[in-house]
Structure 1
Amino acid sequence: MDDSYIGIEGYSTTTPGIRAQIKYDPESFIVNEIPIELPQKPDGKYTVLKIRLTNWDTNKFLMHLADRLHISNKRITYAGTKDKLGITTQYFCINLPAGQDIGEIHIKDAEILSCFRTDRMIKLGDLMGNQFIIGIKSDDSIEEKINNTVKQIMENRGFPNFYGVQRFGSIRANTHRIGKLILQNKYAEAVKLYIYDPEFDVEDYRKHFGETEDAELALKEFPEYLTFERSLLGYIAREKKYDNAFSVFPRNLSILFIHAYQSYLFNRILSARMKLTGSMYSVMEGDLLYSVDSYCNPDKRELIRATKYNIDKLNRLSEEGRIRTALPLIGYNTEMSGGVEGEIESHVMESEMISTEDFDISSNQKLGSSGDYRVMSVLPLNFMVLEKNRVNFSLGRGIYATSLLREIIKGNLY
């Protein structure tokens, strides 16, 4: 799959790529969440579990955990979603009455490292960032090449903050296409594409559904482990319609389709910005910007607009790494950039034949999105090359390690 499929084009560095592979086994991709401060309180309302997971998708693990605890999955939250492939240490927050113990929990490839109570509920994004320890498999000597690319990234004041392929589905990278169909009110097409996508799927049971659209037959053929697909098929078989089928998913899962399409648009906008300017830190009149911390996490309390009166000051602050230009995750309340950047955003929207109003989904308000902003460039912290071609570094919340590795490898990562 070419990167352009998910809206990514170009690189911010000019160093040569390397022939390499990542995620060749679980130990080659280790992610440890760096949490915000969570004051512990013995009689607190929430129970927090720190869990090490091996090859678990975050949402699927949440559903298994809820099942083991005999509670609704809506009573469990988490700080960050993680890809299935790898070893991850994550924090899950469970709403249990004071005095009620979670008891013994045994789930395959899941180890509870610690458990405590707090009065603060963990919400998505309640992280400082993530630490990564990643193996890069190559037959070449690559340490010098890696360090040269990282040096250029530091000189450039950052690398492009693209959404990685995991955002779009690590095996079937089509969630953004499903999201666009939902925005276009093509609900039946969206549901069918989730169950069978001819661009990715080769399994006979998926092909049979694509040919027959017989949900009852598909329920007999689809494997038990495909719980999400089977939930949709059960709804279709029962209700004899596709409308509102995604309501069988938790909202935090069904909204991912819309978020994935927003991410695709962001990638396209950032790719066009890079092609036009080639800079990771130059501020243009009309840009929108955030102050950032050492992890490049934005302070979203104030969105700064660049004008002819403040642009010199903003460029100095940007070069110092204190602010970052932010590009829109387009929604129905999005304030678009001005100037040249605004023209880029308008061009991408026109080419997609999508408007901001489309994100206010009248047929299903739970899937609507008001929009957000994301800084266009970021820096790694404490980057080191370890023994055996392993790299260790930290990134702010929501920043994809694969986007950094893409700059280093400059080719297919898998």
Structure 2
Amino acid sequence: MDMEQRAWEVEAQSLAALPSDARKQKQQSNSARHIGIDIFSHARPRGVLKYVPTDFVVEEESIDGDIVRIDEPVSFEETAYGQHIAARLTKCGMYSTLQASLELSHALNIPLENIHYAGVKDGQATTAQRLVIEGVQLEALQQFRDPRFVIESLHRTSEIIRLGELSGNHFSILVRTTQTITQQWLDHMIAWINQHGVVNFYGPQRFYEPRLLSHIFGRLIFQGKYDEALKALFLMPSQFEPRAIANVRSRLSGCYGRFDDMRRVMSAFPYSFAVELRALDAMQSGKNAIDTLNAIGDQTHYWALAYTSLLANELLSEIVLKKKQMPEELPLLLSTTKWTWDTYKKQLFRDSTQQYIDNIKPIAAIRMSKSPRVSTVVRPEGLRAVSVPEGVVFEFSLSKGAYATTLLSYFFDLVTPPPLIAGISHECVDVKKVLGSGSLKHITSHFQREIESVQKFHELIVEE
């Protein structure tokens, strides 16, 4: 496929050819309970996230507190020494850090493991973060071009960054609304949050939007049901997917195991079935279920994290609803401590995942930690909000492991297109300019085609 003919553009063409009834999709306004969050019983205004990628801007904060600014020019510094190249990755569109890294590794002909980053940033967003790249010539990196993201060399380095080596992220976000939100109400909510903080739930992006089934795949692996996990990847329906995608999964169920037929069925929707197509490549080469799960190891690891996140969300919801004493921290399941076992034992027996340590051993991609833990309550730094005709523009910083969507859920009943809801503004807004913290002018200029394509893609799916 030509680089310009991206997977999701092929999918957009396929969707555009379908009747409107096949392009219907339910909104995700009831998705919180699906991922274990059960505390938002009060009425909240409806808010739309990520109508265009520039509505959701994420700038990484390093351990030393420096922010990787999206709107600051950079140039290569020859003064530093080392065998690796430190670079800034700026992306805008439908690609996550993982997907950008895959494209970069293919283009530069280096192993994916040579590309290091501290955090995985969303697709459907505009993000800036630091990379360290091994085994690449500076000239090759400087000549690299891709319309979906920009790699700008910073300096040579001998140090590798690891996942988790960041202090947090800085956010500039537009939430689009169908009604006017008063500044008085926003100020009241901000004062309450600054005093009490927010419960640190894992947000929907942890569960692979829009399908929101990653925790189920993870649970099956934790049960030792590797073949069933793969089959669920291809066939399990989701109430949050468009009908067109559900129809493809239905057709797949009739040809599961016939690899050429499966590929033909998925070929019109290569964006929605990107992971499935990678898994199919491994299956078609003769790999068994365990080897296939290892072949798509980046995804398999995140399925495991999704299941552990579901258990944490359920436990946090129970603590809030039953008004129990909130602990300062919770352990995460990918560890072997007695604290972890005591915390999640009831849920593990409920799900028949109590043998998870043995069951995940064959999956090398699922990494155990000595004692991973998460803060139960977080307080955003520098939280402010500005009411604008299109909705509300927010600015804040969160520590690593905290989700912007969780904070914003205290203000709004959030939905993420597709589909669009009627009544929102379609105007592009420079959130940096509104906040007086810079400008996205060069971003919107450089990624104009990408932004417009995402906009059109979202408008193809209609609300059911």
Which TM-score tier does this pair reach, normalised by the shorter chain? 0.7 to 0.9
Q: Give CA deviations for 1:305-333 in whole Å, capped at 9, x if unaligned.
A: xxxxxxxxxxxxxxxxxxxx111211351
Contact 1:178 1:257 in 2 (8 A): yes
Partner of 1:131: 170
Is 1:221 matched with 2:265?
yes
Cα 1:155–1:80 change in 2 (3 A) is same
TM-score under structure 2 normalisation? 0.72
Partner of 1:347: 346
**Aligned-residue offset at 1:363:** 3.3
Partner of 2:283: 236
Partner of 1:141: 181
Contact 2:170 2:397 in 1 (8 A): yes
Partner of 1:305: none
2:299 to 253, 266, 277: 253
Cα 1:41–1:129 change in 2 (3 A) is farther
CA distance in 2, matches of 1:168, 1:240: 26
CA distance in 2, matches of 1:376, 1:383: 19
**Aligned-residue offset at 1:54:** 0.5
Mean Cα displacement is larger for which, 215-224 or 61-70? 215-224
Q: Give the structure, 1 or 2, with the largest relative contact order (CA under 8 Å, sep 6 or more).
A: 2
**Aligned-residue offset at 1:220:** 2.7
Is 1:2 matched with 2:5?
no
Partner of 1:275: 321
CA distance in 2, matches of 1:238, 1:394: 45
In structure 1, runs of 5+ residues without a counterpart are: 288-324
Cα 1:106–1:6 change in 2 (3 A) is same
Cα 1:16–1:97 change in 2 (3 A) is closer
CA distance in 2, matches of 1:330, 1:40: 44
Amino acid at match of 1:263: S
Partner of 2:193: 153
Contact 1:332 1:356 in 2 (8 A): no
**Aligned-residue offset at 1:98:** 7.7
Matches within 5 A, 1:251-400: 251-277=297-323, 287=327, 325-336=328-339, 345-355=344-354, 357-358=356-357, 361-367=360-366, 369-370=368-369, 372-386=372-386, 388=388, 389-400=392-403
Cα 1:359–1:167 change in 2 (3 A) is farther
Identical pairs, percent: 24
Partner of 2:111: 72
Q: Give CA deviations for 1:167-198 in whole Å, capped at 9, x if unaligned.
A: 00012111110000011111111111112322
Partner-residue secondary structure (3-state), 1:90:
strand
In structure 2, runs of 5+ residues without a counterpart are: 1-29, 67-76, 418-464
Partner of 2:81: 43
Cα 1:25–1:353 change in 2 (3 A) is same
**Aligned-residue offset at 1:348:** 3.0
Q: Give CA deviations for 1:312-359 in whole Å, capped at 9, x if unaligned.
A: xxxxxxxxxxxxx11121135133279xxx5x7443333333326546
TM-score under structure 1 normalisation? 0.80
CA distance in 2, matches of 1:53, 1:102: 16
CA distance in 2, matches of 1:147, 1:130: 22
Is 1:402 matched with 2:405?
yes
**Aligned-residue offset at 1:369:** 2.9
Root-mean-square deviation over aligned CA pairs: 2.7
Partner-residue secondary structure (3-state), 1:36:
coil
Mean Cα displacement is larger for which, 228-237 or 361-370? 361-370
CA distance in 2, matches of 1:359, 1:375: 27
Is 1:95 matched with 2:138?
no
Is 1:117 matched with 2:173?
no
CA distance in 2, matches of 1:142, 1:154: 19
Partner of 2:12: none
**Aligned-residue offset at 1:261:** 0.5
Partner-residue secondary structure (3-state), 2:46:
coil
The size of the alignment, in residue pairs, is 363
Mean Cα displacement is larger for which, 214-223 or 180-189? 214-223
